[in-house]
Structure 1
Amino acid sequence: MNIITELNRKITTHMSTCLEKAFEEGTGLTGMVESTLALVREMGRDMIEEMISTAEDSLLNSKERSMEWVVQSRNREKTVSTLLGDICYRRTYYKNRESGAFRYLTDELLGLEPHTRMDIGLQSDMLTKAKEISYEQVVQSYDDISIRSRSTVKNLVHRTSMENTNWPNLEDEKRKVRFLYVEADEDHVHQQRGKGMIMKLGYVHEGKRLVNPSCKSKHKRNELIGAKYITGLYPNNDDFWFEVLDYIEAQYDLDYVERIFLSGDGAPWIQAGEDILPKCSFVIDGYHLSKYIKSATGPYPAYEKKLK
């Protein structure tokens, strides 16, 4: 639908119902102002999303772009929280013909890092509010954003405070590895009233190695290289995965990383990490793969052995 036609429809509908609704509900002028502001914010998001879509199409159809960048995958969704609310759009993932580097060119055009969740305007507003009110109150002061965790504000304040100090950065050099592994699982925590909660667990590592390679025992033990454990009660799946992403970005040079392997039992919240972590591929972990094969082959153990 043409954006101008759609905006005109929304304005016409609003003007025909706003006054009547305000009087019926007894909110008067204040109600009219609030509903009009909400409409303006909504239309602002519509216009920006339309402009981003136009820019995305322009890049996709550009002959100049195709000479340097090859389409790797299309229609990857991204949501950025702003002062207008959540801006949602789809973009294309490109690979450079010469260097092999991967980029979201639309994100770069917008001045956004590949996995930014908030634009600078919203970050600045949050930091200003955090000086006067609690982190929880800061989050609750925004109506149209998907970020609902106070830990997001806490991390933003902490990161900004560290950037503004004169303390030396003790870890200037980020680790360079070709592959990273993220294993995810969950545990059900029972509460007194019978309502259970899901405890999410993820551990990031660089692979496995034998603890004692010279040991002659048949039962050799492995250990994870550079393991980092992240766990907690995260009602919002994205909050958990952005916590994982924050750690990976802080510790590793993502331009050097070729692939991040995410493994688990295939639960939707685990697979959701594939859309947030860069260069990520989801695979069923060994335990659950074996379990699923056994279930699928049923009374035919010979097929089970072949599949394994």
Structure 2
Amino acid sequence: MNSLSQNTSLLNTDLSHDLAFFLSLLDAPFAPFMSSLDYASMMTNASSWFYSFLRKAFVSAIEKADLLFRTSPGRIQRFYVKQTRSRSIITIFGEITFKRTEYQRRDTKEPYCYIDRKLSLLPRQRYDCCIEAKAKEIYADHNSMIKTGRILGEQIYGFFSLDPDRKYHHLSRQTVYNLLHRCGRIRLRPTPMPHTPDTLYIMADEKWIPLQGECTEGTPHVREMVKVAVCFEGRERILKKDGTPTDRFRLKNKYIYSSCSSEKNNFWENLQDHLAVRYDLNKVKKIYIMGDGAGWIRRGISEMRMPGTTVKAALDRFHASQAIHRMTSDKVFQEVLIRYLFELKREEFDTVAEIARSYLKEENDRKRFDENLDYIHRHWHEVKVMVKEVKIGCAMEQAISHIIASHFTSVPKAYSRKNLPLYLNSRIHSQNGEDLIRLALTARDVSHEGKDADLRESYDFSFFDDQVRKETFTVHLRNRSNKKETYPF
């Protein structure tokens, strides 16, 4: 409160007089009514006055702290005064400029600045850590650095303003890029769940993201495969505010895991490690892996298999229906084939399929028909698992469209191979409900600039180290003159 009370000079500015004028209109019973523009002007003045007041109070508190450290008794024995310089940084309520003293250590002759250490400011840092964390959170929900810079700039300039110059405060795309790369990927330990279900469901699919800077005449389209898995315990009905059930469902305790193919790690092994933290896998009896039947998805059956746990693959209804629509364009044949497929009537399905094929005249149409029919035959058992055991369906196409496609494929060739894992990491944390601002602030103190931050629990394995035994040995030797000499070790 001392810092705030010392800045009462702001109450006498022209800005405060304008604000007081508009506020006086509220107290006058017979004053004319405010227009919408007048009300917006009042709110603009209030926002500007408040931001200006906070900036001056913050500068006053910083310079007071610098003076207290400079005059402290123990400072002279440890630090020389080198010089006093001004520094400007941009905070969440605008740019501030303050004076602080730079020192030099007496023992190591290294430079030292008390205020920079106090505020966690790095050398040549223009934006404070709050803006860095906010940039990471905003970009995780937007697919453009330009949008992120515009949102951040308007928030820094003022929560609401009618000033036409507010657009000049937008952060550039390069500035947002630098803020996002101030800290690398954040490796986080999954949150353990209080209860372990008997059955786990895993939806898996991949998305190919076009890359920039790697296209040549021989390979004009270079893409990165991103694998995504959505793990959940089942589905539950969505309730209204009054507790009335609706017709919509949501996945229960959903958890998302993703990785890029360039990371060259074992996708299913890492996913199992994450699930082992969330659940007691010894209590899980069944695991269903749902997807389009790709080879890397089917490999999850053997990778996720554990003693006492049955792992089965299931083909989602979307890809099964999509294969039938590719076989024939006739609506009647499509409806009949889909009904026989999900009723698991294979003989009737093959009979109708043979009739539908006889109506095709073009060789390419027959070839496409045979390919999709073979796809259904190869995954007939997986369709049976979906219909008989899973029953709840598979919404992986919706999930990957919302998580990956809408964010990373809306702009063609917008990402490089080295930056994509960083942006994907923030996106997945955001979709898992993590507080990105807190994560970014914590990771900033853990990692060096641009390095990955490992926020997982560290374990002390020092008890495995060999204990160093310090003992003294005495060696007795005789020289050529037969004189005894002692050498202690």
TM-score by length of 1: 0.47
- Relative contact order, higher structure (CA 8 A, sep 6+): 2
TM-score (normalizing by structure 2)? 0.31
